[in-house]
Chains A and B, each alone.
Chain A
Amino acid sequence: MLVIRPLQNGDLDDLYAMAQNAGKGLTTLPADRELLQRKIDLAQETFNQRCAPEAGLYLFALEDIGSGKTVGISGIQARVGLDEVFYNYRLSVTVNASRELGVHVRTPTLHLSNDMTDTSEICSLLLSDDYKGGGNGLLLSRCRFMYLDEFRKHFSEKVFAEMRGVSDSNGQSPLWDALGSKFFDMEFSQADVLSGLGNKSFIAELMPKYPIYLPMLPESARSVVGRVHNNTAPALKMLQAEGFNFNGLVDIFDGGPVVEAFVHNIRTVRESVNRHAMVTRKPIDLDVPVSERAMISNRSFQDFRVTTIPISCVDPDTVKLSPEVAAALRVESGDPVRLAPLKDSGPWPNHYHRERSFQYREVR
C-alpha cells in the first residue's frame, strides 16, 4: 500500500537516491544532501506551523508501507517571489500597422514579468521509476489539490505549475542557446542548477530587461516557446484534465509553459466529498483498476495522509476502511475523511451526486 504523508527526516537517503537517478532535468530537487536536508527541515517547520504561512513549503512523500521506502515526492510552495524575485516571460503580441501602406504586422514578443509573485506553486514532483504506472503518479500529484482545498486560507486563490521546456538529450535548450546564453555566459544546465539552488539574484542582474522580439530568434528557438519537454507531456495532460490552462507565461530559460487554475475550479476539488470513516473487519479487495479507485485523505494539516481505496467502499454517509488503511491514514471509526476520484472519469456512485446537491442546498 502506498501512502502520501508529510516529508520527514528519515526520507533523506531515499530522496537523495531518487534525485541522483533523475539527472539534470529536475532542478527543484538537486542531488545535494545538504540542500535536500534543508528542504526537509523547511517542510517540517511548515507542517508544524513554525514558519510564516507565506514562507511555507509543503512537501509530501509517497511511502510504500510494505517496504518502508520513500518512492516519490511532490510539493506546494505557499507563495513564490516574496523573498526573491520570481521571473517569467509573458508571451504577448506587438502589432505594428500602417494604414497608409496597408501593412499590419503581428510580432510575438517576450516581456519579462513578475506576474506570478505571491501565488502558490505546485512543484517538485518526482516518482521513482519502479513505481511509475498504476495511478501512483496521479496520487502523488492530485493529493496536493486535496490539501489546497482543505486549507485554502494558507494558499492563493490561484495556483500554478511551471512545466519543463524542450531540451535535447544532451541537456541543450534551443531557447537558452538563442537567448539566455547570449547574456549569461554559462551553460543551460549550470544556470538552471543555480536558479534551482536559490541563487536567483543573478537572474535579475544578468537578464535582458527589454522585450525580446521573437522573429529575431532562430526558428529552432521560436518553436519551443510555450512547449513542454516530451517527458513532461503526460504531466501537462494530467494538469489540463484538472482544469489547468496555459496562462501566457513561459520559463525564462527553456520556454516551458506555466499552467494555472483557480483552486475552486480544479476538478479534484470540485468532485471531492466528505464522509466519516467506518473501520470494518470484512475483507475488502484493495486491488482494483485505477479507474475504480478514489483518493482518501485524513484532512489533517499537520499529518496529512492520503491513500487510495476502491470507489465501491464509498457509502452515502460513510466509507468502509480496512484496519490497515485506517492505520495508514491514522483514522478511527467516526473520524472525518475526504474523498476524490483518482482518475479523470472515475464513475462515482449515484448517491455521491445526490448528496452533493443536497449539501449545496444546505449551505444556502
Chain B
Amino acid sequence: MWLVRPAELDDLDQILEIAGTQCARLSSTLPKQPEALSRKIEHSLLSFDGKAPDDRPARFLFVLQNAETGAIDGTAAIDARAGNGQPFYNYRRDALIHASHELGISRRVEVLYPSHGLTDHTLLCSFSIRPELRGTNAFELLSRSRMLFIAEHRQWFNSRVVVEIQGVQTDSGNVPFWDSLGRHFFNMDFDTADQYSGVLSKTFIAELMPPNPIYVTLLSKAAQTALGQAHELTVPNLELLKREGFQAGCHLDIFDAGPVLEARTDSLHTVVTSRRKTLHASHDERGDTCLIAAGNGSDFRCTLTTVYESLDDQVKVPVKTWKALGKTAGDPVRIAPL
C-alpha cells in the first residue's frame, strides 16, 4: 500500500538517496546536501502547520512511502509562491513582425524575453520517484495527491499553478540550449548552474543572466529545436499533467528551455472532480480504485483505495485505508477517481 504524507526529518537519508538517483533536472529543487535538505524539511513542516514566516512563503514537501516496508520511494513538492519571495525566472517566447512596406518583405522574428511574469504563481516541483514506479498508480498518486492537498487548502494557493518540465538533454549530458546561450554568460556547465539554482538564492541568476531579449534565430540549430521540448524521461509526467488540465504556454525554462506548463487552480481536473465525503467502513475489498486524502496541514495523508460504495456524501472503503489515513468512521475525507 502506498501512502503520501508530509516529509519528516527522519526521512532525510532516504530522500537524499532518491535525489541522487535522478537525472539533474528532475530533482533540481531538491538539495543534495544534508544540511540544506534538512532546512528545507523544517521549513516544510512549518508550512504544513500554517506557520511559514511572512518573508518565506510556504513550501510543502511530500514523500511517497511504502506502507508495508516504510521505504520512501518518491518525493513531490508544492511551492505556494513560485520564486519563494524572490523573482521567478523564465523566458517568454514571443514574436515581432519585421516588415518593410517598401520592399514587400514581412518576416516573423521570434524573441525570448526574460520574464518574472509567473512569480507568485503556485509551483509544483521536486517530483522524483524510483524509476521502476514511473507510470504506475503510485506515480499517479504521488503527483495528484498535491492537487488534493491544494483542493483541501485552497486559500493557501494562488489562482494559477505552474510546473516546469525538464528540457532536452543529449545522452552525453549536454544541454543544447544552455550551450548556445547560458554557458556564455554563466561561465559554467549546465549541471553546476542547475545545482546552484537549487540551493543558492536566485540572486546569481539576476547577476549573470543576459538582461536583454534573445533572438531565437541567433541560437544554434540544436538549441532552436529544443525550445519548449520536454526531456523524454518526463513524458509520463507530462501526459499526466496534461490530463490534469495543464498546458504549455509561452514560458520556457531559462537554463534548458523546457516548457513551463500552466493551469488555473480551480480548473485542475482533480480539484474539479474530487468530492468531500464522510468516511464509512466496507468489509468488501472490491470496487474502483480511487485517490483518497484526509487531514489538515501536517495531518494530511493520501493513498489509493478501493471504493465499495460512494453514495451521497458517504464513502465506504476498507478499514486498512482508515488506518493508513489515521482516520475513523465519520471523519471527512476527499476522494477522486484515478
Q: A residues engaging B (CB < 8 A)?
A: 94, 96-98, 100-101, 103, 105, 107, 179, 182-185, 194, 199, 201-202, 205-208, 210-213, 215-217
- Near A by CB (< 8 A), chain B positions 93-109 give 98-103, 105, 107, 109
Q: Is B123 an interface residue (CB 8 A)?
A: no
Q: Are A183 and B217 within 8 A (Cβ)?
A: yes
CA–CA, A184 to B107, complex, Å?
A: 8
Q: Is B24 an interface residue (CB 8 A)?
A: no
Q: Is B46 an interface residue (CB 8 A)?
A: no
Contacts of A206 in B (CB 8 A): 98-100, 105, 107
A105-B185, A107-B185, A216-B218 given; A96·B102 CB < 8 A: no
Listed by A's residue number, 15 A-B pairs whose Cβ atoms lie within 8 Å are: A96-B185, A96-B207, A98-B204, A100-B203, A101-B196, A101-B208, A105-B208, A107-B185, A182-B217, A183-B107, A184-B105, A202-B102, A210-B214, A213-B210, A216-B184
A105-B186, A210-B215, A216-B184 given; A205·B100 CB < 8 A: yes
Q: Is B290 an interface residue (CB 8 A)?
A: no
Q: Is B200 an interface residue (CB 8 A)?
A: yes
From B103, B188, B210, A107 is in contact (CB under 8 Å) with B210
CA–CA, A244 to B155, complex, Å?
A: 68
Q: Are A94 and B210 within 8 A (Cβ)?
A: yes
Q: B residues engaging A (CB < 8 A)?
A: 98-103, 105, 107, 109, 111, 180-181, 184-188, 196, 200, 203-204, 207-215, 217-219
Contacts of B101 in A (CB 8 A): 205
Q: A100-B204, A199-B102 are in contact. List 5 more A-B contacts (CB 8 A).
A: A96-B208, A107-B184, A194-B103, A206-B99, A217-B218
| Nearest residue, chain A, Cβ from B200 | A100
CA–CA, A96 to B209, complex, Å?
A: 7
Contacts of B186 in A (CB 8 A): 96, 103, 105
How far in angstroms is the closest Cβ of chain B from A177?
Answer: 12
How far in angstroms is the closest Cβ of chain A from B81?
Answer: 23
Q: Are A183 and B187 within 8 A (Cβ)?
A: no
CA–CA, A216 to B102, complex, Å?
A: 31
A96-B208, A208-B109 given; A216·B180 CB < 8 A: yes
Q: Are B187 and A105 within 8 A (Cβ)?
A: yes
Interface majority SS on B: helix, strand, loop or mixed? mixed
Contacts of B185 in A (CB 8 A): 96, 105, 107, 213
Contacts of A210 in B (CB 8 A): 111, 212-215
Q: Are A201 and B208 within 8 A (Cβ)?
A: no
How far in angstroms is the closest Cβ of chain A from B224?
Answer: 11
CA–CA, A194 to B196, complex, Å?
A: 49
Q: Are A182 and B215 within 8 A (Cβ)?
A: yes
Contacts of A208 in B (CB 8 A): 109, 215
Contacts of B207 in A (CB 8 A): 96-98, 100
Q: Are B98 and A183 within 8 A (Cβ)?
A: yes
CA–CA, A199 to B98, complex, Å?
A: 16
Q: Are B208 and A185 within 8 A (Cβ)?
A: no
Enumerate the 4 nearest inter-chain pairs by beta-carbon distance, A residue then B residue, closest first.
Answer: A215-B184, A205-B100, A182-B217, A202-B100
A205-B98, A216-B181 given; A183·B109 CB < 8 A: yes
| Nearest residue, chain A, Cβ from B192 | A101
How far in angstroms is the closest Cβ of chain A from B227?
Answer: 15
From B184, B208, B212, A211 is in contact (CB under 8 Å) with B212
CA–CA, A262 to B215, complex, Å?
A: 37
| Nearest residue, chain A, Cβ from B109 | A183
CA–CA, A184 to B188, complex, Å?
A: 34
Contacts of A207 in B (CB 8 A): 98
A107-B184, A201-B102, A202-B103 given; A216·B200 CB < 8 A: no
How far in angstroms is the closest Cβ of chain A from B44?
Answer: 25
CA–CA, A163 to B204, complex, Å?
A: 40
Q: Are A101 and B204 within 8 A (Cβ)?
A: yes
A183-B107, A183-B217 given; A201·B100 CB < 8 A: yes
How far in angstroms is the closest Cβ of chain B from A95?
Answer: 10
How far in angstroms is the closest Cβ of chain B from A301?
Answer: 37
Contacts of B180 in A (CB 8 A): 216
Residue of B100, B105, B196 with highest tally of chain A CB at under 10 A? B100
Contacts of B184 in A (CB 8 A): 105, 107, 213, 215-216
Q: Are A98 and B208 within 8 A (Cβ)?
A: yes
Contacts of B109 in A (CB 8 A): 183, 208
